Amino acid sequence: MLNYLSLNKNFVRLVSIFVMSGFFNFCWSQVQTTKPNNQVSDFSKEIKNTRELIGLGRLNEAQQIISSQLGKKPRDAQWRYLDAVLDAEFAIIDQNEGVKSFSSIKLKLDRAIEKFERFTEEFPELSEPFNNLSVLYLRRGQADRSRESLERAIINNPNYELAYENLGDLYVYLANITYNKGLSKLPKSSRLSKKLDHLNQMPFLAKPNIIRELKQK
């Protein structure tokens, strides 16, 4: 398992490519306290507007609203969930742009992960927090924990399409890492080169999608 502190720039860039190109879709959805199959689709107007701001990248505006709402309702699950999503968005943007120090990015990732982990403890029946944790674990170089989180999301909701997609993408990502590692040891291996070439030609690698909203049933 890769440790976050040992990640080099090439690894961070590779992870960023996978996330930016649609590998590991980040889900922000209605928090539910009922069973996963009983998806709740009734959002308040403020929740909807704040989610739209996050989707548009207007994170500072969203942060002001979320902070205000949590000041009034500190235990509200909906706003706490959006607060965790916002922290994750700030961390992902900083890591993609590489404009912040490594320690600053790690701090934001750790904070977002802590909030989502707390959610999985309070609402262990939900799938979305586990999906989002998988994205952040991979960002931190923890592929094993990323896989475990996706498997848990699928256990919670066997019809969770996004988690299946992300889990498949994770295995493709690990294959890419493995082939590259093999070629670093065996640069003349035609078998590994062909496999890596086929992998890099997969059309979905160019899919420009960072965040995908969970479709409500």
Homologous superfamily of the 4-22+44-157 domain (CATH) = Tetratricopeptide repeat domain (1.25.40.10)
Q: What is the pLDDT of residue 121?
A: 94
Kindly tell me the burial class for residue 102, based on how many C-beta atoms sit within 10 Å of its own C-beta (0-12, 13-18, 19 or more): middle
How far apart (Å, rounded) are the C-alpha atoms in residues 133 and 149?
7
Q: Which run of H or of E encompasses 184? A: helix 161-185
Nearest alpha-carbon partner for 127 in 101, 161, 170: 161
How far apart (Å, rounded) are the C-alpha atoms in residues 205 and 184?
22
Q: What is the pLDDT of residue 19?
A: 42
Q: What is the pLDDT of residue 156?
A: 95
How far apart (Å, rounded) are the C-alpha atoms in residues 72 and 57?
24
Q: What is the pLDDT of residue 114?
A: 95
Residue keyed to tokens 């960002």: 139
Bridge partners, residue 26, by sequence: 211
Q: What is the pLDDT of residue 216?
A: 32
User: Residue-wise pLDDT tens for the chain (217 aa)?
Assistant: 323 323 333 333 434 434 433 445 666 443 333 333 333 334 588 888 998 998 888 999 999 999 999 999 998 888 999 999 999 888 888 887 876 677 888 888 899 999 999 989 999 999 999 999 998 998 888 999 999 999 999 999 999 998 998 999 899 889 988 999 999 999 999 999 999 998 888 765 543 333 333 333 3
b/e per residue 47-86 (b: at least 16 CB within 10 A) = beebbebbeeeebeebbebbeebeeeeeeebbbbbbbbbb
The two most distant CA atoms of the chain are separated, in Å, by: 63
Q: What is the pLDDT of residue 26?
A: 63
